[in-house]
Structures are given as C-alpha cells and as structure tokens.
Amino acid sequence: MQYKLVSFDFDGTLCNSFDAIKAALAIVIPDANLSDLSGKLMSGEAFTCVLQSLSHSKLSEETLFRLYDEFCHVYHNKCAHLQSLYPYSASLLRTFRSQGCHLVIVSNKEEGALHDFLYEHHLAETFDLVIGEREGLMKKPSPESYYDIIMPVFPELQPQQMLHIGDTLIDIDYAKAIGADSAYVCHGFGCDEICIKHKPTFFYSSFKECLDAFNH
C-alpha cells in the first residue's frame, strides 16, 4: 500500500539510546541495579515508571518528577553523545520521502531532545512534524497526538493512509487506536514475542528488511 504519512517512534526505533539512558541513570541513581535495564525499558511505558522501579523506596510524585527532570538534564548535557542512528535509518527516510510520504516523529521523549538529535544528524528538515513530550498532551498509546496535532496539519489524511513504525507494544496500540497500520521493528527495546502476538501489520527484524520491503 502507498502510504501518505509515516510516523516513527524515536527511542529504540530511529535512535539507539540504550547506552545514553544507562549512563545517565548511573549518574542520577548511582546505586541502581541496571543489569536488567533492557527488561525495564521493554514495555515502552512512561520513563517515570522506570525511575520508580530503580529506586529503593516509593517516591512521591513530586520527588519522582524532580528526579525525571534531573535525568533529562544529565542525559542531554552529559550522555547524549552516546546516542546513534540505527543502521539504514537515513536510507529508509529517504525512500519514504521519494514516495511522497509525509514524515512525523511521535515520541514520549522530551521534545527538545528530539530536535537536538535530528539537527546533529542532519535530519531536521526531513520531518514535517516532531511531536514529543508536551505539557497537557497525553502520551502514547493515547491517540491524542494524532487527533490534536497530526489531523489539523493534514486534514485530508485518512487513518488507513498512515503507517506508524515503532519498537514496543505501546506503538502497536497507538496505531490501533488511530486505525492506522503498524510496523514493529525488533532492533529496539520491545519484547518480540509479546509484540508479535499483538499482531502489528508488519514485522521487521531491522530497517534493512523494512527498506527492502518498501523499495519493491
């Protein structure tokens, strides 16, 4: 199918951020056990839940959000250089662009960090919209970003003309909530077995496989 808009998750999908996340957590919570960090990131849930799970006691909401702010600061200023694009990301983006697709990022990550990464990797002009964490905006898997932000910009777009690509169950559920197709890519944080059971429209082991599929 020829899609008119392709949206991407960010962490674990376009951006390999595992090393940066781990390094920032080691600074913010020095005594945290990070041996199962990949398991804690698997669900794609809000990062405050990850912070709480790594803490040795129940944190108040105020303390938790203060810790999250500290994590974001450390991540951005000390650990962002550890991020990298997944292989074939740029080629895949160019392929979709050449096919006339609009490109959007829909992420639960702090929005400024998304723009910084795209600028650094010369992708700032590639995307029509970059949607990250915004005050008052419900995070994925809520479809609010689609109805409140994407639809007003692309009013002619039908959900069936959209593909959402991500690496966790949250991304599959986001696409289903919209009525869009989904592509699960397993190079990120998600659990392949769980995500495949939730029947994404497409399943790809890598962006190379995805690129080959959409080049035909």
Please state, as a whole number, how many other Cβ atoms lie within 10 Å of the Cβ of residue 147: 12
Using pLDDT thresholds of 50, 70 and 90, give the confidence band for residue 1.
low
CATH topology of domain 5-15+86-214: Rossmann fold (3.40.50)
pLDDT tens-digit profile of 13-27? 999 999 999 999 999
pTM of the predicted model as reported, rounded to 2 decimal places: 0.93
**Cβ-Cβ contacts under 8 Å for 215 (sequence gap 6 or more):** 95
- Mode of pairing for the β-strands spanning 5-8 and 181-185: unpaired
At 199 the pLDDT is 96
Both tokens assigned to 36: 């199962």
Decide: 165 and 92 in contact? Cβ < 8 Å: no
Tokens of 86: 């997944």
The more confidently predicted of residues 129 and 216 is: 129
- Mean pLDDT confidence for 154-163: 96
Whether residue 132 contacts residue 114, with contact meaning beta carbons closer than 8 Å, is answered with yes
Which residues 6+ apart lie within 8 Å of 204 measured at CB? 183, 184, 185, 186, 210, 213
- The angle at the Cα of 93, spanning 155 to 124, to the nearest 5 degrees, equals 80
Q: What is the pLDDT of residues 168-191, one digit of tens each?
A: 999 999 999 999 999 999 999 999
Cα gap 16→100, rounded to integer Å: 26
Indicate the DSSP class of residue 76: I
Position 45 scores a pLDDT of 73
C-alpha–C-alpha distance, residues 105 and 163, integer Å: 12
Amino acid at site 27: I
The set of residues, in sequence order, having a beta carbon less than 8 Å from that of 98 and lying 6+ positions away, is: none
Would you mind telling me the total number of residues written for the chain in this entry? 216
pLDDT 10s digits, 48-94: 889 998 988 888 989 999 999 999 999 999 999 999 999 999 999 99
